[in-house]
Amino acid sequence: MFKESDPSWLSIIQCLKKTGMPIREIRKFVDWCLQGDDTIAQRLALIDRQRESVLKQIAQLQNTLETLNYKHWYYETAQRLGSCDALRTLDPAEIPPEIQKIRERLRAGDSRP
């Protein structure tokens, strides 16, 4: 019923789907694979585009994680000090350098990593 190569096909299809690639593009990739070596350049270009897309997604998620880390520190510190107002007079030396960096980025309105 199944061929030996089927798990490999399923694996790459699942991978491409996880990158957010539309089914239409995945089908195109599969068709190119079935066509043989004449489509290697197209397949490579498609994979490179998806790699770039995933790298951008990773950067966006890293930025989101940094923002959440900052807010965690903020509320954890506010809880320890007894209020959010206490953070306004906090000595900058008490703020970890990585938190200062994120805080400055957020204050500047920069949502990029």
- pLDDT tens, 2-58? 466 677 889 999 999 999 999 999 999 999 999 999 999 999 999 999 999 999 999
Question: Residue 100 sits in a domain of what CATH number?
Answer: 1.10.1660.10
Using the CB atoms, write b or e for 13-47: b if 16+ within 10 Å: beebeeeebeeeebebbeebeeeeeebeeebeebe
Q: What's the token pair of residue 13?
A: 């299809």
Q: What's the token pair of residue 87?
A: 């953070």
Q: What's the token pair of residue 41?
A: 């350049």
Q: What's the token pair of residue 92?
A: 């900058």
Could you tell me if residue 113 is inside a domain?
no
Could you tell me if residue 112 is inside a domain?
no
Q: Are 57 and 18 in contact (CB under 8 A)?
A: no
The domain tally of the chain equals: 1
Could you tell me if residue 53 is inside a domain?
yes
Q: Give the predicted TM-score (pTM) of the model.
A: 0.77
Its domain, for residue 71, covers 6-107
Could you tell me if residue 56 is inside a domain?
yes
Q: Which tens digit of pLDDT belongs to each residue from 48-107?
A: 999 999 999 999 999 999 999 999 999 999 999 999 999 988 898 999 999 999 999 998
